Amino acid sequence: MTAATGTEPLVRARNVHKAFERLEVLKGIDLDVMPGEVVVILGPSGSGKSTFLRCINHLEAIDAGSIMVGGEQMGYRLKNGHLVKLSANAIALQRRKIGMVFQQFNLYPHMTVLQNIIEAPVGVHGESRASAVDNAKQLLARVGLSDKLNSYPRQLSGGQQQRVAIARALAIRPELMLFDEPTSALDPELVGEVLNTMRDLAGQGLTMIVVTHEIGFAREAADRVVFMDGGHIVEAGRPDEVLGNPQHPRTQAFLSRFL
């Protein structure tokens, strides 16, 4: 699972700063994620985890620093040695290699499960309908929802919706998957089915950045755990190190709540 050393990182964040009005949310984040690596971001509420995740696919523009994904700087390009802001459509192109799963699922409620999944492959990536439908069926089988092809999102339980959302993100064949608290909106008995799906993906070598409060998932599935607090990464390392023997008092305080 652990990425081979020597290859280029898929995600390279350097000194990322982000403020909303006067509120400084990210105060210099550095993070490299290697291809195939599963990074879990932990941290108290308001520490900037979601904001950082949204900066990676440029849903939020950063104020300073840089974020590279797959060798491209998100939101900008170099022109005659100067950094130039990309147009909205060019940024849309950059995002095509990044899948995202949201806390509130955000399935398209007016579309069936199948339509939800093939929307981006057909409409954004130009995949043929037939092949997108084939792929969608395989993905639904993978998340255990083959019989829900023609259901609408509202007819599904939260856990089922989130698994469809994962299938939808996988359908664009992403190089990188971002998960923002994918189980936080779920009833406790539904958390397991979503985490199982994510564990499968982690095992299959997909590069994932996961914001979650599921310490158990971090322990089992993560290659690296990153602990954020107050807009900084205060501690990062192998799950057994960070979770088993946290060094920073903030991390210790945070983890003690889960014991």
Partner 1 sequence: MSNEHAIAASPSGDAAARDVASAHTPFRYGQLILWIVVGAVVVNFAWIVANNENFGWPVVGQYFFDPTVVQGLYVSLGLTVIAMALGIALGLVLAVARMSSDPLASTLSAWFVWFFRGTPLLVQLIFWYNMSTLFPTLSIAIPFGPTLASWDTNSVITPMTAAIAGLALNEAAYMAEIIRGGLLSVDRGQAETAEAFGMTRMRALWRIIIPQAMRSIVPPTGNQLISMIKATSLVSVIAMADLLYSVQSIYNRTFEIIPMLLVAVIWYLLITSILNVGQGYIERYYSRGERRTGGAAQGAKPAAAAVAGEASH
Ligand X SMILES: Nc1ncnc2c1ncn2[C@@H]1O[C@H](COP(=O)(O)OP(=O)(O)OP(=O)(O)O)[C@@H](O)[C@H]1O
Residues binding Mg ion: number (CB under 5 A): 1
The alpha-helical segments, DSSP class H, found in 57-157 are 88-95, 113-123, 129-142
51 contact, one of partner 1, ligand X, Mg ion, none, CB 5-8 Å limit per kind? ligand X
Structure tokens, 201:
């993906």
Residues 6-45 that bind ligand X (CB under 6 A): 20, 23, 25, 43, 45
Distance of closest approach, residue 157 Cβ to ligand X, in angstroms:
23
3-state secondary structure of 183: coil
9 vs 43 by CB, closer to ligand X: 43
CA 26 to chain centre: 17
58 vs 224 by CB, closer to partner 1: 58
Tokens 């005659």, located at residue: 80
236 contact, one of Mg ion, partner 1, ligand X, none, CB 5-8 Å limit per kind? none
Structure tokens, 66:
């840089």
CA 20 to chain centre: 21
77 vs 125 by CB, closer to partner 1: 125
82: β partners: 79
Query: Alpha-carbon distance 191 to 183, whole Å?
Result: 6
Among 241, 174, 238, which Cα is nearest to 1's?
238
43 contact, one of Mg ion, partner 1, ligand X, none, CB 5-8 Å limit per kind? ligand X
Q: What share of the chain is helix, strand, coil (3-state, %, to 5)?
A: 35, 25, 35
73: β partners: 68
Contact segment (CB under 6 A) with ligand X among 48-56, 153-161, 233-241, 244-252 equals: 48-56
99: β partners: 177
Q: Does 75 bind ligand X (CB under 6 A)?
A: no
Binder of ligand X out of 9, 36, 48, 182 (CB under 6 A):
48
Residues 41-60 that bind Mg ion (CB under 5 A): 50
3-state secondary structure of 98: strand
159 vs 239 by CB, closer to partner 1: 159
Residues in contact with partner 1 by the rule CB under 8 A = 57, 59, 88-89, 92-96, 98, 100, 102, 104, 106, 108-112, 119-120, 123-125, 144-145, 147-148, 150-155, 157, 159-160, 163, 172, 189-190, 192-193, 196-197
46 contact, one of Mg ion, partner 1, ligand X, none, CB 5-8 Å limit per kind? ligand X
